[in-house]
Amino acid sequence: MPGTALRVIRPLVRIGSLIAPHTAGRAAFKLFCTPPRPPGPQSRTGKAIIAARGRLAPAIRQAVSYPCGTVSTYLFEPEPRLQDGDGPAPTVILLHGWNSEAAFMTAFVQPLLAQGFRVVAFDMPAHGTSTGAELNIPLGVGALAAVARVFAPVHAIVAHSFGGAIALAGLARSVPGQPRVKSNRLALVAAPSSVTTITRNFGATIGLGRRGQAALERRIHSVAGNPVEAFEGCGQLEAIGLPTLVIHDRQDRELDFHHAQALAAAGPFVTLQETSGLGHRRILQARQVVESVTRFVVG
């Protein structure tokens, strides 16, 4: 959120937390779940996004329904294509982060195709060309479960940033009532370890007081069916027990390196790889990261 907007909103949120914490908490939850979505898919015109979207051109596009709308999927089939009657190749799902889109995950496509995998990227709810105005963990898990069902069998999930929190929640079945997402392997790139920390940092940033923060977390519990503490990454990884690769940059300014260290503490089935100088987003385009993820997915 821009500094000017914060200077305006913080005093209002602080007052609201004192006199109407329930209302302030619900409003904060809506703000927390609403990405700064551009007015149209062509509104980003930078060279990086144009190049990334160009890599989506060969994909087979399909809208996949989930309980709250549809998400746009992009399917890449390995060559030679399987003949009719054969089972599909194992799928790798690419899951982008907050305020991003499928196009930014495309650096992984060709190396994974070359290894014989079917690759599916998709725009999460309220991102890219998918429907919706909000994204939270239950919405993300519902969308991921629908995509995993349509493109089964899923061999691996490669997730960036907030996409990692969604992947963990789906695999650990942390959202009651959602179908469990199944995968053999998980790669987390610049992913958070603690949704609790993110939530409380958000509350502090917008000026949410103690009572308002408590109301926000009650709202999360109500929507997600579990308290925010249930979405701690280390505990979820311990429950899942899948071979997991965690890649994180030492200079990540959006999510500190301690997130990666906390995830790696889940057990010996987690491999931690650190990078330096790639930050939170450029890490997705780095050759060494793409090569490491591909080797890990192959196993």
Supply the pLDDT for residue 51. 80
Supply the pLDDT for residue 180. 86
Three-state SS for 217?
A: helix
Supply the pLDDT for residue 29. 93
Enter the tokens of residue 198. 């993110």
Residue owning tokens 């089964």: 152
Q: List C-alpha distances in Å: 270 to 156, 185, 188, 264.
A: 14, 10, 10, 5
Low pLDDT (below 50) residues in the chain: 39-42, 82-84
Note the Cα 53 to chain centre separation in Å: 19
Supply the pLDDT for residue 41. 45
pTM for the model: 0.91
Supply the pLDDT for residue 6. 58
